[in-house]
Amino acid sequence: MHIILLNPRLFHRIMPVLHHPSLRDGIEARGYQIEATQACIRCSTLLVMPTGFGKTAVQWNCIADALESGISKIVITAPTVGLVEQQRRMILERILIDEDNVRTYTGGDRPAKRGTIWEDATIIIATPQVVRNDVDSGLIHLGDVGLLIIDEAHHAKGNHATGQVADRYQRQAKVPWLVAATASPGSTQRSIEQLWNRLNVKQIYVAKREDDLLKPYAVDMNVATIRVMLDSTTLALLEPLEAHQFEETDALKRQGFLAPTEHLTAGLIEEAAQRASVAISRRDPRGYDAARRISDVRRMHMLLDLLKTQGLRSARSYLERADEQRREGERSTSRFLKKQVIHNFRQSVQDMDECHPKSGMVRQLVEEHLEQNPDERILIFSEYRDTVDHLVNDLNQIEGAIVDRFIGQSKRGKREGMSQKQQLAQLDKFRNGEMNVLVATSVGEEGLDVPSASMVLFYEPVSSAIRAIQRRGRTARERSGSVHVLVANDTRDVHVLHASRNREKRMHNVLARMRLETPIGSFETRKEGNLLEFEVSVDGVKGPSLTFLQDERLRLKSIEEVTEGEKIASQEATAKVSKQPDLHTRSRSQKSLFDFEDDSTDPWDPVLDGRDINRQ
């Protein structure tokens, strides 16, 4: 029985099958995965491959090579418990190994039990926080780990546990071999190089959707940006709040604490707070008044953003939590809530139904998609837990929709997060079809193996190129999928959308320049990349994997040349049929109205302050 990976394109009469002594039968052979495997087994490598093309399959090949090479300890880190469980399940399906030798290693296990797991298991799939903590406490040692695989490697920056595990591995391992995989390493050359250096890899291997070897396996992903206009009710509610905010910010600008700019951002507010702190430290009495104003401006800024981009209910929930803080004795919160403009707003919206157009648009999209595709699943992302809860309540009213939430573990005030056990249960229900709509915060962005999630909906755009790529990667993994991004006009959404697009475009340009930047020969290789243990069966005939790779390069290149030739011929034929003499009804120097047309989506390119609000 064949295990078909991702979205097969059957160019051969029988699917090419990859063989290795440590791999189970029936794994599809793909040229680009073999090429990536060749690079990764030669030395420590940062593997960059688009979401949905099977980075995990390359990891399996590396595990198989490690087992065949006699490596007795392999560690895989993944950022969430859901991914840890998923990795174990998939490894057991693909690798020839006893089930007891593949173990998960998370905070859900007691320290004493973790020590036993570490000693007994051959393949350990762990969350990086637990590995870091146990290394530092002396419970485990990484000296015998012959292969470390870091999934979602873009996390390995700063003080994140993923980077700290890589640091400790380089210090303790006898012969370090690291394979780090991600679809989105960063949006600038500096950030990608920082990741490269932090992981201490010897090369970066970049695969792009446009490569000849990848093109045939690409599935369609239709990304639609849906612009919505704020309704008259929301605009009326905003007017007094924005007028009050203008008065406060204008006073801060005149005092020199707030930068003179029209577009207020969280970063600018933070800079103003720092200036106020400096003034207070110098015993400047203006600093105290500025600090109070800045505290109120920060809260009003959040309230306005919620009202504009999330909706009335999320804004109301924000103020209800502020009221809880007031009752607990938070003085600055109490002062903010006592403002007449806030009191009036709360009175106005107390019994008001949701009026933000995004809410109705989500319901419409979900209804239409489930009506046309009743057996498929939908993923919806929002930055805020309040919005997640409201959407779950709304969408459960749709006939045929079984909707639930997926949020992080952290506690927000009196509201509990989801435990590891609850998260895993939700993923299983979604994967098994017991639930067909999952509404998630950022905790659901990475690595979810939900092959039939045919639509992903962003309730708001995200500024981070990494997060945008991860979110989109939850669809079009096996078949065509659609992505819808909701953008409220004249709000923060517009700025964030521009920032995300610019950063993602910059990332792809940087990666194109950095492809295999370090020549393979400029450093000591771990092993020659001849892949002698890997073979491929094509139409029933088994042969070396590198021969298959070479054949694929030639075959797919010839297909591309034929396709391009047919396209050019078609364009030339169309041009001959449709060509007409030019008609000059005006002077050549005279401009048409169309010459003044603006091709860009927006006439300006706003810059975000760069803060990444991650509300799990």
* Rounded CA separation 118/111 (Å): 10
Give yes or no: residues 345 and 413 share one domain: no
Question: Is residue 259 pLDDT above 70, yes or no?
Answer: yes
Question: By mean pLDDT, which of 392-406, 500-514, 536-550, 578-592 is the weakest?
Answer: 578-592
Give yes or no: residues 193 and 310 share one domain: no
- The encoded tokens of residue 489 equal 């006009």
- Residue 24 forms part of a structural domain: yes
Question: By mean pLDDT, which of 8-22, 28-42, 443-457, 502-516 is the weakest?
Answer: 443-457
Reported in sequence order, the residue ranges of 7-109 that DSSP labels E, i.e. its strands, are 17-19, 27-28, 45-48, 74-77, 102-105
Q: How far is CA 330 from CA 6, 326, 335, 607, in A?
A: 53, 5, 9, 34
Give yes or no: residues 57 and 179 share one domain: yes
- How many C-beta atoms lie closer than 10 Å to residue 113's C-beta? 11
The answer to whether the beta carbons of residues 402 and 434 sit under 8 Å apart is yes
- Residue 507 forms part of a structural domain: no
Mean of the pLDDT values across residues 448-475? 63
pLDDT digits (tens, 9 = 90+) for 173-228: 999 999 999 988 887 888 888 898 899 998 889 888 888 898 888 766 677 899 99
Query: What's the total number of domains in the chain?
Result: 3
* Rounded CA separation 68/534 (Å): 11
Give yes or no: residues 476 and 533 share one domain: no
- Residue 108 forms part of a structural domain: yes
* Rounded CA separation 151/155 (Å): 9
- Residue 611 forms part of a structural domain: no
Beta-strand pair 147-151/178-182? parallel
Question: Is residue 245 pLDDT above 60, yes or no?
Answer: yes
* Rounded CA separation 549/34 (Å): 7
Question: By mean pLDDT, which of 20-24, 456-460, 473-477, 551-555 is the weakest?
Answer: 473-477
- Residue 80 forms part of a structural domain: yes
Give yes or no: residues 543 and 530 share one domain: yes
Bridge partners of residue 74, in order along the sequence = 123, 147
The answer to whether the beta carbons of residues 105 and 124 sit under 8 Å apart is yes
Give yes or no: residues 460 and 537 share one domain: no
Alpha helices in 282-419 (DSSP H): 286-309, 312-327, 331-337, 340-349, 357-372, 385-395
Q: What is the CA radius of gyration of the chain?
A: 28
* Rounded CA separation 153/181 (Å): 5
- In what helix (H) or strand (E) does residue 553 lie, and over which residues does it extend? helix 545-578
> Which residue, among 155, 308, 298, has the nearest Cα to 238 in the 3D structure?
308
Beta-strand pair 147-151/403-406? unpaired
> Which residue, among 465, 472, 484, 416, has the nearest Cα to 444 in the 3D structure?
472
Q: What's the pLDDT score for residue 569?
A: 56
- How many C-beta atoms lie closer than 10 Å to residue 333's C-beta? 21
Q: Which residue has the tokens 């006898």?
A: 174
Strands of the sheet containing 123-126, edge to edge, are: 102-105, 123-126, 74-77, 147-151, 178-182, 45-48, 203-206
The answer to whether the beta carbons of residues 214 and 30 sit under 8 Å apart is no
- The encoded tokens of residue 224 equal 């639609």
- How many C-beta atoms lie closer than 10 Å to residue 417's C-beta? 16
Give yes or no: residues 477 and 429 share one domain: yes
pLDDT digits (tens, 9 = 90+) for 85-108: 889 999 999 999 999 999 999 988
Question: By mean pLDDT, which of 43-52, 304-313, 403-412 is the weakest?
Answer: 403-412
- Residue 587 forms part of a structural domain: no
**CA dihedral (106, 109, 115, 120) positive or negative:** negative
Domain boundary among 349, 369, 395: 349
Give yes or no: residues 57 and 195 share one domain: yes
- Range ranked top by mean pLDDT from 158-167, 257-266, 466-475, 510-519: 158-167
Mean of the pLDDT values across residues 137-143? 96
* Rounded CA separation 564/556 (Å): 12
* Rounded CA separation 452/378 (Å): 9
User: Residue 17 in 3-state DSSP?
Assistant: strand
Domain region containing 136 = 17-202+518-557
Question: Is residue 591 pLDDT above 50, yes or no?
Answer: no
Q: How far is CA 305 from CA 207, 302, 384, 488, in A?
A: 38, 5, 12, 11
- Range ranked top by mean pLDDT from 1-15, 152-166, 398-412, 598-612: 152-166
Give yes or no: residues 344 and 382 share one domain: no
Contacts 24+ apart (CB under 8 A), 3-10: 3/27, 3/28, 3/93, 3/94, 4/28, 5/30, 5/54, 5/57, 6/52, 6/53, 6/54, 6/217, 6/477, 6/478, 7/52, 7/217, 7/218, 7/219, 7/477, 7/478, 7/479, 8/217, 9/216, 9/217
- How many C-beta atoms lie closer than 10 Å to residue 365's C-beta? 19
- The encoded tokens of residue 405 equal 């939430």
Give yes or no: residues 255 and 377 share one domain: no
Domain boundary among 314, 329, 349: 349
Domain boundary among 305, 332, 349: 349
Question: Is residue 272 pLDDT above 70, yes or no?
Answer: yes
The answer to whether the beta carbons of residues 100 and 172 sit under 8 Å apart is no
Mean confidence (pLDDT) of the chain:
83
pLDDT digits (tens, 9 = 90+) for 504-525: 778 878 877 776 555 544 567 8
**Residue 32 pLDDT grade (very low, low, confident, very high; cuts 50, 70, 90):** very high
- In what helix (H) or strand (E) does residue 500 lie, and over which residues does it extend? helix 492-514
Give yes or no: residues 186 and 324 share one domain: no
CATH code of 50's domain: 3.40.50.300
* Rounded CA separation 536/608 (Å): 49
> Which residue, among 270, 453, 445, has the nearest Cα to 366 in the 3D structure?
453
Mean of the pLDDT values across residues 139-157? 94
* Rounded CA separation 484/379 (Å): 11
Question: By mean pLDDT, which of 45-49, 193-197, 306-310, 469-473 is the weakest?
Answer: 469-473
Q: What's the pLDDT score for residue 81?
A: 83
* Rounded CA separation 205/39 (Å): 7
Q: What's the pLDDT score for residue 411?
A: 75
* Rounded CA separation 225/585 (Å): 38
Question: Is residue 135 pLDDT above 80, yes or no?
Answer: yes
Question: Is residue 489 pLDDT above 90, yes or no?
Answer: yes
User: Residue 381 in 3-state DSSP?
Assistant: strand
Question: Is residue 3 pLDDT above 50, yes or no?
Answer: no
pLDDT digits (tens, 9 = 90+) for 276-286: 999 999 999 99
- Residue 333 forms part of a structural domain: yes
CA angle 125, 481, 461 (to 5 degrees): 80
Q: What's the pLDDT score for residue 559?
A: 62
- The encoded tokens of residue 511 equal 């990666």
Q: What's the pLDDT score for residue 396?
A: 95
The answer to whether the beta carbons of residues 536 and 542 sit under 8 Å apart is yes
**Residue 612 pLDDT grade (very low, low, confident, very high; cuts 50, 70, 90):** very low
CATH code of 270's domain: 1.20.1320.20
Q: Which residue has the tokens 């800079």?
A: 271
- Residue 396 forms part of a structural domain: yes
Bridge partners of residue 457, in order along the sequence = 380, 484
User: Residue 82 in 3-state DSSP?
Assistant: helix
CA angle 89, 93, 95 (to 5 degrees): 110
Give yes or no: residues 337 and 424 share one domain: no
* Rounded CA separation 306/92 (Å): 45
